[in-house]
Amino acid sequence: MTQLVGVKGRPLPWYGWLGLTSLLLGEFGLLLGLLSIRVLFFCLAWWSYIALADAWVWKRRGHSLLRNRPWEFLVLAFWSVAIWNVFEVLNFRLKNWFYVNVPTDLLTGAIFTFFAYATVAPALFETYDLLRAHGVGDSLVVRPWRVRPWHLVLAPAVGLAMLLTPLLWPHYGFPLVWGFAVFLLDPFCYRIGGSGARSLLAQFERGDPRPALRLLLAGFICGGLWEFWNFWAYTKWIYTVPFLEDLKWFEMPPLGFLGFPPFALECYVLINFVNTFRRGRGWEDLEQAGPGARPWAAAVSILIATLFNILTYAGIDRLTVQSYQPFLAQLDGVPKDVLDRLSQAGMDSPPPLLRRTATLEGLRELSRRAGVAEGDLRALRSAARLVDLKGLGTSHYNELRRLGISRVEELASQDAESLALRWRELAGRKPPSLSQVKVWVRAARAQGEG
């Protein structure tokens, strides 16, 4: 294999090639419609990107997080889960996104969730390092900004207001969660900067805006990749953001992309806050190699973070997940002999059935091979289309069927508000919200138009 040679003659490390190869294979698996790849794609794509980005950073400058300080990388990944779970807890109130096609097994789902959330901070900071390695913003300086005592009082008050406002008035205040931690916690990091803590305020006080600029760019880049890769994944999230539902790029309203740059600043501040208890240790530079947290403090913090993650995952499963990976056997009204014959033919979930019956010839071929009447197969395909619609899922399909809706075309003809009321009266422990019903009705109408 040809070696990529950088400015200083360094080849791309082996794990960079591995990341590039696994990313390309994942994209190819999506193209082929392989369900196992579609379910795992988000994790596969991001861990591949992180490996490739770190390898490229090492190639450019001769040191990187994974290659030279793997322990700091693991610390980032661990705390990344807890940091993102802070926003998941806020979403219990905001209800700005929900998850679909989640693995049915609780343990499998928890493992998938852990590895997905563990990519957030590493992805942002590896992208930050990429920008730094390429000299982005190197020549940028500003006049030093003097931090006054009243700034250190006012900023946390603003941050607290930004946190409380969305909790009290979620319909209007939801954008403020993307930035509250910068105002709330960066002054604390500034105050104890002598212990090795980094802070945005201290950087601006030195006239150095480069870290903030790179973080904003990293947030924008990662935000685009988050939404792009999420859109093609099978296990994914869908947004229900007030006032911004009519137009989406991938699954995100266009204005929503403006939240990713300040989110990158938040992650930086939150990690800096954690590092204030590690006595000088950190990920950003090689010289951040202090004594680390005291063993008892580290053990207590890890225990608290782990319990927080477990409780949050239970809350996500209860409040934010709206559907699990569907199986044909979970659909009401399908004859058992039809299910058995299709299962023998390898058709036990909607995606492969829809792919196999996408053409008339394919439908007839499956009908002959499985010994299922064409009429039964058409009816099952119609049900599978509704189950697969934006991750609607089998439980919601069965509820809609009891409401007299079993086809995408029938859902498209519904008024979302009246349907949501009828659905809520019928649904079990996870009735969809009006915003979620609108997502599915809108998707059904878009399919009809297509």
341: CB partners within 8 A, 6+ apart = 370, 371, 372
Q: What does the pLDDT read at residue 247?
A: 86
Q: What does the pLDDT read at residue 449?
A: 62
Q: What angle do CA 28, 33, 39 make, to 5 degrees?
A: 90
189 CB burial (10 A radius; 0-12, 13-18, 19+): buried
Q: What is the pLDDT of residues 17-28, one digit of tens each?
A: 999 999 999 999
Across the range 404-424, mean pLDDT stands at: 96
Q: What is the pLDDT of residues 351-370, one digit of tens each?
A: 999 999 999 999 999 999 99
3-state secondary structure (DSSP) of residue 324: strand
> What residue spans of 233-294 are helical by DSSP H?
260-275
Q: What does the pLDDT read at residue 288?
A: 85
Within 13 A of 19's CA, how many CA atoms are on the CB side? 19
Q: What angle do CA 386, 315, 162 make, to 5 degrees?
A: 105
Task: Measure the CA–CA gap between 170 and 157, rounded to whole angstroms.
Answer: 19
Q: Which of 431, 434, 429, 428 is CA-nearest to residue 414?
A: 434
Q: Which residue has the higher pLDDT, 207 or 5?
A: 207
Task: Measure the CA–CA gap between 435 and 95, rounded to whole angstroms.
Answer: 9
Q: What is the pLDDT of residues 159-201, one digit of tens each?
A: 999 999 999 999 999 999 999 999 999 999 999 876 556 899 9
429: CB partners within 8 A, 6+ apart = 318
State the DSSP H helix or E strand holding residue 255, giving kind and residue range, or none if neither: none
Q: What is the pLDDT of residues 27-72, one digit of tens each?
A: 999 999 899 999 999 999 999 999 999 999 999 999 999 999 999 9
Residues in the chain: 450
What tokens does 180 get?
Answer: 């509250």
3-state secondary structure (DSSP) of residue 234: coil
44: CB partners within 8 A, 6+ apart = 22, 23, 26, 37
The b-or-e profile of 27-47 (16+ CB within 10 A means b, else e) is bebbeeebbebbbbbbbbbbb
Across the range 361-390, mean pLDDT stands at: 96
Q: What does the pLDDT read at residue 414?
A: 97
Q: CB atoms < 10 A from the CB of 108, how many?
A: 13
| Mean pLDDT over the full length of the chain | 93
Q: What is the pLDDT of residues 68-127, one digit of tens each?
A: 999 999 999 999 999 999 999 999 999 999 999 999 998 999 999 999 999 999 999 999
Do 207 and 141 form a contact (C-beta atoms < 8 A)? yes
> In the chain, what percentage of residues exceed pLDDT 90?
87
pLDDT at 284 over 50: yes
